[in-house]
Amino acid sequence: MDILFYHPTFDNAAWIRGLEKQIPGARVRAWTRGDDRPADYALVWHPPVEMLQGRALKAVFALGAGVDSILSRLQAHPEMLAESIPLFRLEDTGMGEQMQEYAVSQVLHWFRRFDDYQAQKLEKRWQPLDDYTREAFTVGIMGAGVLGSQVAQSLLAWRFPVRVWSRSRKVWPGVDSFAGQAELGEFLSQTRVLINLLPNTPETAGIINRELLSQLQENAYLLNLARGVHVNEDDLIAALDDGQLKAAMLDVFSREPLPETSPLWQHPRVSITPHVAAVTRPQEAIRYIADTIGRLERGEAAGGRVDRRRGY
């Protein structure tokens, strides 16, 4: 079995050693330009068109939970990957746990009013504040995939009211479920903390705009953990300035790295992390890929296959 590997920033040698250890008999090589030798599988992140074009592969694995970069490239270059070749994403290789840590810590930060106490600290003001109640601190999650499910469960453990909105209705114990455009307004109207975990598709690009934000409860919070293109950044700043939103925590942006000229850097009620909410953990990802390849080789069903028409 021959496996091609390409990632512009990962340690190729470490990944190749790990893959060959987990998949006995596999020959793994880092792809370089001009390499047109046969391969059975390809593991990629932001792959050049010529890496995949014309190859008779059994499957391609995106080295992350998102596949929008590959799909957008396929739109421009449909010849890059035949429709018959399955495309897989990493469903959960430690990313779910990382998303839980990030989401729970931030929701608790707002719930305990640490943002307000930090503002008072800058004014050298000693003033206990009224507590928020869980009943009035409903968390709404946009996106009901693997990561959305795990974040919802972690917040339920802290006894927050949790609701979820997605393309199709989900049935999760203890979670109010809303589906489709017709139910979006109802979902937003009772949401105090909005967490975005939507996939990046043409339908979701720019979805978090002034109209959507205006439907949230007053003094709402936004936590964006999905993709920067989901948020209209100008509308976000306007919602913060007029008081519709109390604060925003952003891990992803429409341009990355975030330009120094972006007003988001200077806004007092915007917190920023550099796309680190959930990163690919090599050991867990390698085990996941090895298991999935084993299933494919045995002719068994495997999770994580991408529906190219839906975009996830």
What confidence tens digit (pLDDT) does each residue in 181-220 have?
999 999 999 999 999 999 999 999 999 999 999 999 999 9
Cβ within 8 Å of residue 110, ≥6 positions away? 193, 221, 246, 247
Confirm whether pTM is higher than 0.75.
Answer: yes
The Cα 92–Cα 23 span in angstroms is 19
Q: Can 230 be counted among the known catalytic residues?
A: no
Q: Domains along the chain?
A: 2-92+280-298 (3.40.50.720), 95-272 (3.40.50.720)
**Which one from 275, 281, 287, 305 is the annotated catalytic residue?**
275
What are the pLDDT digits (tens) for 92-122? 889 999 999 999 999 999 999 999 999 999 9
Residue 154 has pLDDT above 90, yes or no: yes
What confidence score (pLDDT) does residue 92 get? 80
Tokens of 176: 């109010």
Contact 166, 176 (CB under 8 A): no
For residue range 243-282, list pLDDT tens digits in order: 999 999 999 999 999 999 999 999 999 999 999 999 999 9
The reply to whether 275 belongs to the active site is yes
Mean pLDDT, all residues of the chain: 97
Q: What are phi and psi of 142, to 5 degrees?
A: -95, 115
> How many CA atoms, within 13 angstroms, populate the side-chain half-sphere of residue 301?
1
Q: Residue 44, SS3?
A: strand
The one catalytic residue among 89, 163, 227, 230: 227
User: Which of 113, 104, 50 has the alpha carbon at shortest distance from 246?
Assistant: 113
CB 206 within 8 A of CB 232: yes
Percent of the chain with pLDDT over 70: 100
211: exposed, middle or buried (Cβ count in 10 Å: 0-12, 13-18, 19+): exposed
